[in-house]
Amino acid sequence: MKILGIFGSPRRGGNTDILLEEILKGAEKEGAKVDHIYLTDYAITPCKECHGCDHTGQCVILDDMQKIYPKLLESDIIILASPIFFYGVTAWAKALIDRSQALWAKKYLLKDPSLGKEGRKRKGFFISVGATKGPRVFEGAILTVKYFFDTFNAEYAGELVFRGVDGKGDIFKKHPDALEQAYEAGRKLVRE
Ligand SMILES: Cc1cc2nc3c(=O)[nH]c(=O)nc-3n(C[C@H](O)[C@H](O)[C@H](O)COP(=O)(O)O)c2cc1C
């Protein structure tokens, strides 16, 4: 089983990175093969809305996103980690998500069977943290991520989110059981 961990925060070693590392450790413990992508290592141009993908299912922008499409399609489980920035995911993660429009076109306009009902089934999981404690702080991001996962046939398998987390490493202080939860979530994702 192949798992792709997508690190969507620009702060290396920050709270979502810590959680994603831990969930991936749990998945590895269950025998999964893990691949890591730090979005800050990739130059991903935002979608230009040129509709170049409508007839081909391929994005015309030849940048680092071209390295990520195959990784998404080769994975059984995709875990996206992004902190909340202005009630959504980071711009790094959103650029990746918007560029999945090419997969959306392949699935819904071109009706490519590989992304249809009979295609390979995947699972998607979301990790996030936010500084505030508002009840709705993750709502926008979760909705965005669900539709992102749908473009490559990944069933939304759930999320692990923590409020009141701001400074680097706050996750340890504010939620002492968060790492254990992440590790267990990684194991469960592979087992189920
Ligand atoms: C540009 C920016 C926007 C933010 N917007 C929000 C927000 O809307 N709601 C919130 O709860 N926290 C917000 N935060 C706080 C981050 O979610 C928080 O610092 C988080 O712990 C960062 O995670 P990381 O360590 O994984 O990068 C924002 C932080 C930045 C830098």
Give the N- to C-terminal CA distance of the chain in Å, as an integer: 12
**173 CB near ligand 1 (under 6 Å):** no
- The pLDDT assigned to 50 comes to 98
Model confidence at 168, pLDDT cuts 50, 70, 90, reads very high
- The pLDDT assigned to 25 comes to 98
Model confidence at 60, pLDDT cuts 50, 70, 90, reads very high
Residue 182 clears pLDDT 90, i.e. is over it: yes
**85 CB near ligand 1 (under 6 Å):** yes
Segment 110-132 shows an average pLDDT of: 96
Residue 172 clears pLDDT 90, i.e. is over it: yes
Segment 173-184 shows an average pLDDT of: 98
Residue of 84, 92, 163 to test ligand 1 pocket, by largest number of atoms within 8 Å of CB? 84
114, 107 contact by CB (below 8 A): no
Residue 102 clears pLDDT 90, i.e. is over it: yes
**How high does pLDDT run on average in the chain?**
98
Segment 15-30 shows an average pLDDT of: 98
**82 CB near ligand 1 (under 6 Å):** no
CA–CA distances in Å: residue 123 to residues 74, 126, 176: 12, 10, 27
Model confidence at 117, pLDDT cuts 50, 70, 90, reads confident
Residue 33 clears pLDDT 90, i.e. is over it: yes
Nearest C-alpha to atom 5 of ligand 1 is from which residue?
85
Residue 14 clears pLDDT 90, i.e. is over it: yes
- Cα(2)–Cα(27) distance, integer angstroms: 10
Strand partners of residue 4:
35, 78
- The pLDDT assigned to 130 comes to 98
**81 CB near ligand 1 (under 6 Å):** no
- Cα(7)–Cα(21) distance, integer angstroms: 9
Cα of 47 from ligand 1 centre, angstroms: 23
Segment 17-45 shows an average pLDDT of: 98
Segment 31-57 shows an average pLDDT of: 98
pLDDT, one tens digit per residue, over 69-95 is 999 999 999 999 999 999 999 999 999
